[in-house]
Structure 1
Amino acid sequence: MKKSVLAGLLILVLSMTAACGNSKPNQFSLPVEPFTFINQDEEEVSLSDLKGKVWVADFIFTYCETVCPTMTANMAELQKRLKAAGVEAELISFSVDPERDDPATLKSYLEKFDADFTNWSALTGYEFEEIKTFVLKSFKSPIAKDNASDQVIHGTSFYLVDQTGTAVAKYDGMDNTPYEKIIKDIKALQR
C-alpha cells in the first residue's frame, strides 16, 4: 500500500514538474497601451497590427553612446536564433529619442546590425513625453532625459508581449541575454 501511494505521489510530482517546464510565461501581466507609430519604412504600426502575434520589445535610440549598440546587437542575435529555430515573433524597438530618430535614421542604424525588416520594426513618430508615458504605463519602465548630456536614460530589458498585447515577461537585454529562454517562452505562448 505504501509503495503504491509513494509511486502515485512521485508520478504526480513529476507530471507537475514537467507541466511547469512547458507553462506559459507569467512573470507579470501588463497590458500594453494602444499605439499607432511609424516604422523605419514610414509605415504605421499599431498595437492592433500586433494582435494575435507574439512580440519582443525594447527601447533604444540611435545616438546612444552606452547601452543601445549592445542591446541592438543582442536583438539582432535573437532575430537570427529565432529564424534558425523556425520560431515566428515580431521584434519592436521603440525609439526613446523621437526628435532625432526619424524613420531613415532608424533604418540606417538597424542596417548596421544586419536587421531583417520582415519582422523587426523600429518605431518613432511621437513626442518624447508621449513615449515616456507610454513606456511607463505599458512596461513600468522609466525614461528620462539626461540633463548633463544629449543622452536618454532608459531600461535595458527585452519585454515579451503575448497575442493579446499583454507584456508577460522581461529579460536582460544587455548582459547574458537568455536567448534560449526567450525562444522557449515564445514557443510556450504559441502553443
Structure 2
Amino acid sequence: MSAPEVERPRTRRWVGLLVVGVLALVAALALPLLRESRARLRARGLPDFGALPTFRLTDQTGRPFSEADLRGAVVVADFMFTRCPTVCPLLTAKMARLQRQAREAGLAVRFVSFSVDPRYDTPERLAAYADTRHLDTSNWSLLTGELEDVETTVLEGFRVMMGRDADAGEDDFLSIFHGEHFVLVDADGRIRGYYRVVDDSGGLESLRRDLEALVHAAD
C-alpha cells in the first residue's frame, strides 16, 4: 500500500519538469517570431521620404556604380570628402562603427559614401582614403563622378545639402559644405530616415535600431 505514496511525488516532479521543458521550447520558438513582429511594426512606423534617386557614378575601384547595385539591400549613406579636416573624419569613424555593429549582429547592410568634392576625389584618392583609415570596403562603397551628376544625386535625390562658397576657388576646400546626416534606405529603395550622428544625441543608436528593423522586415 505504501508504494503508490512514494511514487506520487516523483511522478509529479517528472510532470513538472516536462511542463517546464515544453514552456521553454515554446518560448524559444516564439521569441524569434516576436522579435520579427516587433521589427516589422517598427519598420512600418518609419516615415517614407520617397524613392532612392537613380544615379550613375564611379566607386573607389574605378568601376561604374548605380542605384541598381543597391537594389534589394538596406543601405546607409553619408556625404563627405577626403580633404575635409573637420566633420568628415568623424562621420567616417561613425560609419565604420555602425558597420562593425551590423556585422556583429549578423545584419546584411550596404554602406555608401558620396564625395561632395568629386573633381578632387578621384577613385584613386577615395581608395587611398579608405586604405589609410583601414575601412572595410567589402560592403562599403565610396563614390565620385561628374560634379553635375553628384549634385543631382545628393541635392535632388537624397535632399541633402552640398555646395561651395560662390567666390571660392578649386583649392579652397574649406569653402565646401554638406549635410552631416546619415540616410537610411530600405530594401525597396525608399528613403526611410535622416539621422544626426556627429553628437551624442542618440542618432546613431536610433539608426542602428531602425536598420535592424528594416533588415528583419525584409527577410
Q: TM-score, normalised by structure 2?
A: 0.72
1:170 aligns to what?
A: 194
1:154 aligns to what?
A: 178
- Which amino acid counterpart does residue 210 of structure 2 have in structure 1? D
1:30-54 C-alpha deviation (Å, 9 max, x unpaired): 2122112111111222111211101
Give me the whole-angstrom Cα distance separating, in 2, the residues matched to 1:73 and 1:20: 27
- Which amino acid counterpart does residue 97 of structure 2 have in structure 1? E
Relative to 1, partners in 2 of residues 1:108 and 1:28: Cα closer, same or farther, differing over 3 Å?
A: same
Give me the whole-angstrom Cα distance separating, in 2, the residues matched to 1:144 and 1:37: 18
Relative to 1, partners in 2 of residues 1:104 and 1:84: Cα closer, same or farther, differing over 3 Å?
A: same
1:150 deviates by 2.2
SS at match of 1:91: strand
- Which amino acid counterpart does residue 209 of structure 2 have in structure 1? K
- Which amino acid counterpart does residue 109 of structure 2 have in structure 1? A
- Which amino acid counterpart does residue 36 of structure 1 have in structure 2? R
- Which amino acid counterpart does residue 156 of structure 1 have in structure 2? E
State the percentage of identical aligned residues: 36
Pick the aligned partner of 2:89 from 51, 59, 69.
Answer: 69
1:22 deviates by 4.0
2:25 aligns to what?
A: none
1:110 partnered with 2:110:
no
1:20 deviates by 8.5
Gaps of 5+ in 2: 1-36
Gaps of 5+ in 1: 1-17
1:114-140 C-alpha deviation (Å, 9 max, x unpaired): 21111000001222x332222111222
SS at match of 2:119: coil
2:70 aligns to what?
A: 50
SS at match of 1:107: helix
Q: 1:1-150 maps to which residues of 2 (within 5 A)?
A: 22-24=41-43, 26-127=46-147, 129-146=148-165, 147-148=167-168, 149-150=172-173
Relative to 1, partners in 2 of residues 1:133 and 1:20: Cα closer, same or farther, differing over 3 Å?
A: same
Between 144-153 and 115-124, the greater mean CA deviation after superposition: 144-153
C-alpha RMSD of matched pairs (Å): 2.0
Contact 2:112 2:142 in 1 (8 A): yes
Give me the whole-angstrom Cα distance separating, in 2, the residues matched to 1:114 and 1:41: 15
Contact 2:73 2:187 in 1 (8 A): yes
Between 108-117 and 95-104, the greater mean CA deviation after superposition: 108-117
Contact 2:87 2:198 in 1 (8 A): yes
- Which amino acid counterpart does residue 55 of structure 2 have in structure 1? F
Give me the whole-angstrom Cα distance separating, in 2, the residues matched to 1:180 and 1:142: 23
Larger radius of gyration: 2
Between 79-88 and 132-141, the greater mean CA deviation after superposition: 132-141
Give me the whole-angstrom Cα distance separating, in 2, the residues matched to 1:76 and 1:133: 26
